[in-house]
C-alpha cells in the first residue's frame, strides 16, 4: 500500500541516478544515487505526502536505505 506512493515521491524528490522502475523494493537507494541533501528533500516530501513526522531516531541511513525500509517507516508512523 505504501510502497507505490513512496516510489512516486522518491522518483520526484530522490534525485536518483537511475530510473525508479529499475529498482527493486530492496535496492540500496544510496547506491542508486541518493545523497544526504536529497534525503532531506525526500524526508520532507514523505512527511507532507503521508502527513507524518519522522522522529530524530528514524533519521538514519537504515531508514532511507531502501523502498522497503521507507515504506515500513511510513507505515509505523501512520499507525496503521
CA distances from 57 to 53, 54, 66, 70 (A): 11, 8, 17, 14
State which H helix or E strand residue 69 sits in. helix 67-78
pLDDT score for 48: 97
pTM for the predicted model, two decimal places: 0.92
How do residues 5-60 score in pLDDT, each as one tens digit? 999 999 999 999 999 999 999 999 999 999 999 999 999 999 999 999 999 999 99
* CA nearest to 38, candidates 17, 57, 19, 52: 17
> Helix 67-78 crosses helix 2-13 at what angle (to 10 degrees)?
120
Encode pLDDT of 64-78 as tens digits: 999 999 999 999 999
pLDDT at 35: 96
pLDDT score for 79: 81
Spatial distance between the Cα atoms of 62 and 66, rounded to a whole number of angstroms: 8
Amino acid at each position: 500500500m505504501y510502497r507505490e506512493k513512496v516510489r512516486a515521491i522518491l522518483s520526484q524528490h530522490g534525485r536518483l541516478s537511475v530510473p525508479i522502475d529499475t529498482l527493486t523494493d530492496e535496492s540500496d537507494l544510496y547506491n542508486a544515487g541518493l545523497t544526504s541533501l536529497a534525503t532531506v528533500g525526500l524526508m520532507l516530501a514523505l512527511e507532507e505526502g503521508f502527513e507524518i513526522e519522522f522522529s530524530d531516531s528514524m533519521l538514519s541511513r537504515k531508514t532511507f536505505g531502501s523502498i522497503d525500509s521507507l515504506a515500513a517507516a511510513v507505515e509505523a508512523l501512520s499507525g496503521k
